[in-house]
Amino acid sequence: MRFRLFFLSLIFWVALSGPIPALSGESPISDLERPLPSTIGPLITDTAVPIGQGNFQVQVFAQQGFTAGRFSPNWSRVSSHGDFYSMQVPVTFTYGLSPNVDLRLIIPYLHNWAGDARLPSSRGTVSGDFGGLGDINFHIKYQLQKETAVLPTCTLLAGFGFPTGHHSHLSPANAGIDRLGTGAYTFTAGLNLSKWYSPVYLYANLWYTVPTTATVDGVLIHDRDQVTLNLAAEWVLTQHWALLLEFYSNWQGGNLAGPKSRIPAQALLGLVVGLEYNLNQHWSFAGGLAVDVAGKNIGYNYSPILTFQYSF
Protein backbone atom coordinates (compact mmCIF):
# COMPACT_ATOMS: atom_id res chain seq x y z
CA MET A 1 0.00 0.00 0.00
CA ARG A 2 2.69 2.49 1.01
CA PHE A 3 4.73 1.73 -2.17
CA ARG A 4 1.71 2.31 -4.41
CA LEU A 5 0.94 5.63 -2.74
CA PHE A 6 4.59 6.71 -3.08
CA PHE A 7 4.55 5.74 -6.77
CA LEU A 8 1.36 7.80 -7.30
CA SER A 9 3.04 10.80 -5.66
CA LEU A 10 6.07 10.41 -7.92
CA ILE A 11 3.90 10.41 -11.05
CA PHE A 12 2.24 13.70 -10.01
CA TRP A 13 5.55 15.40 -9.29
CA VAL A 14 6.97 14.33 -12.68
CA ALA A 15 3.82 15.60 -14.41
CA LEU A 16 4.13 18.99 -12.75
CA SER A 17 7.84 19.36 -13.48
CA GLY A 18 7.42 19.58 -17.22
CA PRO A 19 5.74 18.18 -20.37
CA ILE A 20 5.39 14.42 -20.58
CA PRO A 21 6.01 12.98 -24.06
CA ALA A 22 2.85 11.66 -25.67
CA LEU A 23 2.62 8.30 -27.41
CA SER A 24 2.88 10.04 -30.79
CA GLY A 25 6.20 11.60 -29.79
CA GLU A 26 4.67 15.08 -29.34
CA SER A 27 4.41 16.99 -26.06
CA PRO A 28 1.02 17.69 -24.53
CA ILE A 29 -0.27 21.20 -25.15
CA SER A 30 -0.13 23.50 -22.15
CA ASP A 31 -2.66 25.75 -23.92
CA LEU A 32 -1.39 28.92 -22.23
CA GLU A 33 -2.55 31.17 -25.08
CA ARG A 34 -6.11 30.80 -23.77
CA PRO A 35 -7.07 32.03 -20.28
CA LEU A 36 -6.73 29.42 -17.55
CA PRO A 37 -10.08 28.00 -16.42
CA SER A 38 -11.73 29.74 -13.48
CA THR A 39 -12.38 27.05 -10.88
CA ILE A 40 -12.82 26.93 -7.13
CA GLY A 41 -9.76 24.68 -6.90
CA PRO A 42 -9.28 21.42 -4.98
CA LEU A 43 -11.02 20.70 -1.69
CA ILE A 44 -7.87 20.01 0.38
CA THR A 45 -4.85 20.75 -1.83
CA ASP A 46 -3.88 24.43 -1.90
CA THR A 47 -3.69 26.47 -5.10
CA ALA A 48 -0.63 28.25 -6.52
CA VAL A 49 -1.92 31.02 -8.83
CA PRO A 50 -2.51 34.36 -6.98
CA ILE A 51 -6.04 35.78 -7.01
CA GLY A 52 -4.83 39.16 -8.31
CA GLN A 53 -4.04 42.51 -6.73
CA GLY A 54 -6.98 44.10 -4.93
CA ASN A 55 -9.18 41.00 -5.24
CA PHE A 56 -10.86 39.44 -2.20
CA GLN A 57 -12.33 35.98 -1.63
CA VAL A 58 -14.36 34.39 1.15
CA GLN A 59 -14.64 30.61 1.29
CA VAL A 60 -16.74 28.59 3.74
CA PHE A 61 -15.78 24.95 4.12
CA ALA A 62 -17.69 22.23 5.99
CA GLN A 63 -16.33 18.74 6.64
CA GLN A 64 -18.21 16.15 8.71
CA GLY A 65 -15.98 13.31 9.89
CA PHE A 66 -17.37 9.89 10.85
CA THR A 67 -14.69 7.97 12.75
CA ALA A 68 -14.66 4.31 11.76
CA GLY A 69 -11.66 3.22 13.86
CA ARG A 70 -7.98 3.83 14.45
CA PHE A 71 -4.74 2.99 12.66
CA SER A 72 -2.37 1.11 14.97
CA PRO A 73 1.43 1.70 15.17
CA ASN A 74 1.90 -1.01 12.51
CA TRP A 75 -0.65 0.56 10.07
CA SER A 76 -3.46 -1.94 10.78
CA ARG A 77 -7.07 -1.02 11.53
CA VAL A 78 -8.34 -1.36 15.10
CA SER A 79 -11.45 -0.29 17.01
CA SER A 80 -11.94 3.30 18.16
CA HIS A 81 -13.73 2.02 21.30
CA GLY A 82 -16.75 4.24 20.75
CA ASP A 83 -18.70 6.35 18.32
CA PHE A 84 -16.91 9.60 17.44
CA TYR A 85 -17.88 12.37 15.05
CA SER A 86 -16.31 15.72 14.26
CA MET A 87 -17.20 18.77 12.20
CA GLN A 88 -14.75 21.34 10.89
CA VAL A 89 -16.04 24.66 9.51
CA PRO A 90 -13.06 26.85 8.59
CA VAL A 91 -13.82 30.24 7.01
CA THR A 92 -11.00 31.50 4.78
CA PHE A 93 -10.45 35.15 3.85
CA THR A 94 -7.97 35.78 0.99
CA TYR A 95 -6.74 39.17 -0.22
CA GLY A 96 -4.51 39.90 -3.22
CA LEU A 97 -1.93 42.30 -1.79
CA SER A 98 0.00 42.55 -5.08
CA PRO A 99 0.07 40.70 -8.41
CA ASN A 100 2.30 38.02 -6.85
CA VAL A 101 1.32 38.08 -3.15
CA ASP A 102 -1.79 36.70 -1.42
CA LEU A 103 -2.65 37.06 2.27
CA ARG A 104 -4.94 34.44 3.82
CA LEU A 105 -6.62 34.18 7.22
CA ILE A 106 -8.26 30.88 8.27
CA ILE A 107 -10.68 30.95 11.23
CA PRO A 108 -12.08 27.47 12.05
CA TYR A 109 -15.05 26.38 14.09
CA LEU A 110 -14.79 22.80 15.41
CA HIS A 111 -17.37 20.54 17.03
CA ASN A 112 -16.82 17.01 18.37
CA TRP A 113 -19.29 14.35 19.48
CA ALA A 114 -18.81 11.07 21.34
CA GLY A 115 -21.25 8.29 22.05
CA ASP A 116 -20.82 5.01 23.91
CA ALA A 117 -17.07 5.71 24.24
CA ARG A 118 -15.11 3.37 26.51
CA LEU A 119 -11.49 4.50 26.88
CA PRO A 120 -9.08 3.86 29.78
CA SER A 121 -8.75 7.61 30.35
CA SER A 122 -12.49 8.33 30.32
CA ARG A 123 -13.31 6.61 33.63
CA GLY A 124 -16.45 5.05 32.23
CA THR A 125 -18.78 5.48 29.28
CA VAL A 126 -18.66 8.88 27.58
CA SER A 127 -21.42 10.56 25.64
CA GLY A 128 -21.44 14.25 24.87
CA ASP A 129 -20.34 17.01 22.57
CA PHE A 130 -18.10 20.08 22.64
CA GLY A 131 -17.51 22.87 20.13
CA GLY A 132 -15.79 26.19 19.69
CA LEU A 133 -12.99 28.09 17.98
CA GLY A 134 -10.01 26.10 16.68
CA ASP A 135 -6.45 27.23 16.02
CA ILE A 136 -6.29 30.27 13.71
CA ASN A 137 -3.81 30.28 10.82
CA PHE A 138 -2.36 33.13 8.74
CA HIS A 139 -0.63 32.44 5.41
CA ILE A 140 1.48 34.54 3.06
CA LYS A 141 1.85 33.20 -0.50
CA TYR A 142 4.39 34.58 -2.98
CA GLN A 143 4.39 33.52 -6.65
CA LEU A 144 8.00 32.78 -7.47
CA GLN A 145 7.48 31.46 -11.00
CA LYS A 146 4.59 32.10 -13.38
CA GLU A 147 3.48 29.15 -15.46
CA THR A 148 5.14 28.73 -18.85
CA ALA A 149 4.81 26.10 -21.59
CA VAL A 150 7.38 24.01 -19.69
CA LEU A 151 7.40 25.16 -16.06
CA PRO A 152 4.52 25.05 -13.56
CA THR A 153 3.36 27.94 -11.44
CA CYS A 154 5.60 27.89 -8.37
CA THR A 155 4.48 29.64 -5.16
CA LEU A 156 6.22 29.88 -1.80
CA LEU A 157 4.10 29.72 1.37
CA ALA A 158 4.80 30.89 4.91
CA GLY A 159 2.19 29.97 7.52
CA PHE A 160 1.74 30.94 11.16
CA GLY A 161 -0.56 29.06 13.55
CA PHE A 162 -1.93 30.51 16.79
CA PRO A 163 -3.18 28.39 19.76
CA THR A 164 -6.68 29.82 19.95
CA GLY A 165 -8.42 26.43 20.18
CA HIS A 166 -9.53 25.12 23.57
CA HIS A 167 -6.65 23.17 25.16
CA SER A 168 -6.84 23.86 28.90
CA HIS A 169 -9.19 22.82 31.73
CA LEU A 170 -9.91 19.59 29.86
CA SER A 171 -12.19 17.05 31.51
CA PRO A 172 -10.82 13.49 31.85
CA ALA A 173 -14.39 12.29 31.49
CA ASN A 174 -14.71 13.74 27.96
CA ALA A 175 -12.38 11.27 26.18
CA GLY A 176 -10.56 14.17 24.53
CA ILE A 177 -13.53 15.61 22.62
CA ASP A 178 -13.15 18.98 24.40
CA ARG A 179 -9.63 19.54 23.04
CA LEU A 180 -10.02 21.79 19.96
CA GLY A 181 -6.44 23.05 19.54
CA THR A 182 -2.81 21.97 19.80
CA GLY A 183 -1.84 24.62 22.34
CA ALA A 184 1.28 25.40 20.25
CA TYR A 185 2.39 28.15 17.91
CA THR A 186 3.40 26.71 14.55
CA PHE A 187 5.44 27.84 11.56
CA THR A 188 4.98 26.31 8.12
CA ALA A 189 7.25 26.71 5.08
CA GLY A 190 5.95 25.28 1.86
CA LEU A 191 5.88 25.07 -1.91
CA ASN A 192 2.72 25.06 -4.07
CA LEU A 193 2.77 24.01 -7.74
CA SER A 194 0.12 23.98 -10.46
CA LYS A 195 0.12 23.19 -14.20
CA TRP A 196 -2.60 23.35 -16.85
CA TYR A 197 -2.69 20.59 -19.48
CA SER A 198 -6.04 21.06 -21.21
CA PRO A 199 -8.48 19.79 -20.01
CA VAL A 200 -6.70 18.80 -16.76
CA TYR A 201 -5.37 21.10 -14.03
CA LEU A 202 -2.68 19.55 -11.78
CA TYR A 203 -1.74 20.75 -8.28
CA ALA A 204 0.85 19.80 -5.64
CA ASN A 205 1.79 20.98 -2.13
CA LEU A 206 4.89 20.16 -0.12
CA TRP A 207 4.92 21.78 3.37
CA TYR A 208 7.02 21.45 6.52
CA THR A 209 5.51 22.50 9.88
CA VAL A 210 7.45 23.17 13.09
CA PRO A 211 5.52 23.49 16.41
CA THR A 212 6.61 25.17 19.63
CA THR A 213 6.36 23.50 23.01
CA ALA A 214 2.76 23.64 24.24
CA THR A 215 1.13 23.56 27.64
CA VAL A 216 -1.96 21.40 27.32
CA ASP A 217 -4.03 21.30 30.48
CA GLY A 218 -0.96 22.14 32.55
CA VAL A 219 1.30 19.52 30.91
CA LEU A 220 4.25 20.42 28.66
CA ILE A 221 3.93 18.73 25.25
CA HIS A 222 6.17 19.03 22.22
CA ASP A 223 4.59 17.66 19.05
CA ARG A 224 6.67 16.28 16.21
CA ASP A 225 7.45 18.23 13.05
CA GLN A 226 5.09 17.42 10.20
CA VAL A 227 5.50 17.00 6.44
CA THR A 228 2.42 17.55 4.27
CA LEU A 229 2.21 16.24 0.71
CA ASN A 230 -1.00 16.89 -1.25
CA LEU A 231 -1.69 16.17 -4.94
CA ALA A 232 -4.78 16.98 -6.99
CA ALA A 233 -6.15 16.83 -10.52
CA GLU A 234 -9.16 18.77 -11.85
CA TRP A 235 -10.73 17.53 -15.06
CA VAL A 236 -12.54 20.56 -16.50
CA LEU A 237 -15.60 19.20 -18.29
CA THR A 238 -17.36 22.43 -19.29
CA GLN A 239 -17.27 26.13 -18.46
CA HIS A 240 -19.14 25.36 -15.23
CA TRP A 241 -18.40 21.75 -14.25
CA ALA A 242 -15.22 19.93 -13.20
CA LEU A 243 -14.36 16.57 -11.66
CA LEU A 244 -11.81 16.35 -8.86
CA LEU A 245 -9.41 13.68 -7.56
CA GLU A 246 -7.00 14.30 -4.67
CA PHE A 247 -4.38 12.51 -2.62
CA TYR A 248 -3.58 13.98 0.81
CA SER A 249 -1.00 12.95 3.40
CA ASN A 250 0.61 14.08 6.65
CA TRP A 251 3.78 12.53 8.05
CA GLN A 252 5.36 13.20 11.44
CA GLY A 253 9.09 12.81 12.03
CA GLY A 254 11.78 14.24 14.29
CA ASN A 255 12.16 17.82 15.52
CA LEU A 256 14.38 20.47 13.95
CA ALA A 257 14.07 22.72 17.00
CA GLY A 258 13.24 22.33 20.67
CA PRO A 259 13.22 19.13 22.74
CA LYS A 260 12.78 15.71 21.23
CA SER A 261 9.12 14.71 21.12
CA ARG A 262 8.04 11.72 23.20
CA ILE A 263 4.73 11.41 21.35
CA PRO A 264 4.50 8.45 18.92
CA ALA A 265 4.82 9.55 15.29
CA GLN A 266 1.58 9.76 13.33
CA ALA A 267 0.90 9.39 9.62
CA LEU A 268 -2.27 9.72 7.55
CA LEU A 269 -2.93 9.16 3.84
CA GLY A 270 -6.22 9.52 2.02
CA LEU A 271 -8.13 10.15 -1.19
CA VAL A 272 -10.84 12.64 -2.20
CA VAL A 273 -13.28 12.44 -5.09
CA GLY A 274 -15.38 15.50 -5.81
CA LEU A 275 -17.45 17.59 -8.19
CA GLU A 276 -17.23 21.34 -8.78
CA TYR A 277 -19.76 23.84 -10.11
CA ASN A 278 -18.42 27.27 -11.04
CA LEU A 279 -21.49 29.43 -11.56
CA ASN A 280 -19.76 32.64 -12.64
CA GLN A 281 -16.76 34.82 -11.79
CA HIS A 282 -18.16 35.42 -8.29
CA TRP A 283 -19.76 32.16 -7.09
CA SER A 284 -18.26 28.65 -7.00
CA PHE A 285 -19.36 25.47 -5.25
CA ALA A 286 -17.82 22.03 -4.66
CA GLY A 287 -18.52 18.82 -2.79
CA GLY A 288 -16.84 15.49 -2.31
CA LEU A 289 -15.93 12.60 -0.05
CA ALA A 290 -12.59 12.21 1.76
CA VAL A 291 -11.55 8.68 2.79
CA ASP A 292 -8.58 8.00 5.07
CA VAL A 293 -7.00 4.90 3.51
CA ALA A 294 -3.79 4.33 5.53
CA GLY A 295 -1.98 5.64 8.58
CA LYS A 296 -0.57 4.94 12.03
CA ASN A 297 -1.35 6.12 15.59
CA ILE A 298 -4.36 8.13 14.43
CA GLY A 299 -8.10 7.72 13.85
CA TYR A 300 -9.47 7.19 10.36
CA ASN A 301 -12.58 8.88 9.01
CA TYR A 302 -15.04 9.00 6.16
CA SER A 303 -15.76 12.70 5.60
CA PRO A 304 -18.32 14.33 3.29
CA ILE A 305 -17.16 17.83 2.30
CA LEU A 306 -19.07 20.87 1.05
CA THR A 307 -17.71 24.33 0.26
CA PHE A 308 -18.64 27.55 -1.47
CA GLN A 309 -16.57 30.58 -2.43
CA TYR A 310 -17.48 34.18 -3.23
CA SER A 311 -15.00 36.38 -5.10
CA PHE A 312 -15.23 40.16 -4.98
- Tell me the mean pLDDT in the region 29-54: 80
Model confidence, pTM: 0.86
Residue 26 confidence (pLDDT) above 50:
no
Cα distance between residue 152 and residue 175, in whole Å: 45
Q: In terms of pLDDT, which residue wins out, 14 or 83?
A: 83
Who's near 202: CB < 8 A, 6+ residues apart?
12, 15, 16, 152, 193, 194, 195, 196, 231, 232, 233
- pLDDT tens per residue across span 58-99: 999 999 999 999 999 999 999 888 888 999 999 999 999 999
pLDDT at 124: 59
Q: Give the pLDDT confidence of 89-131 residue by residue, as tens digits.
A: 999 999 999 999 999 999 999 999 987 776 655 555 677 889 9
**CA nearest 108: which of 128, 84, 82, 89?**
89
Q: Exposed, middle or buried: residue 186 (CB in 10 Å: 0-12, 13-18, 19+)?
A: buried
- Can you name the residues that pair with 307 across neighbouring β-strands? 61, 286
- DSSP symbol at 152: P
Of the listed ranges 102-116, 164-178, 222-236, the least confidently predicted one is 164-178
Run of H or E residues at 301 = strand 298-311
Q: What is the pLDDT of residue 125?
A: 61
Is residue 252 exposed (0-12), middle (13-18) or buried (19+ Cβ within 10 Å)? buried
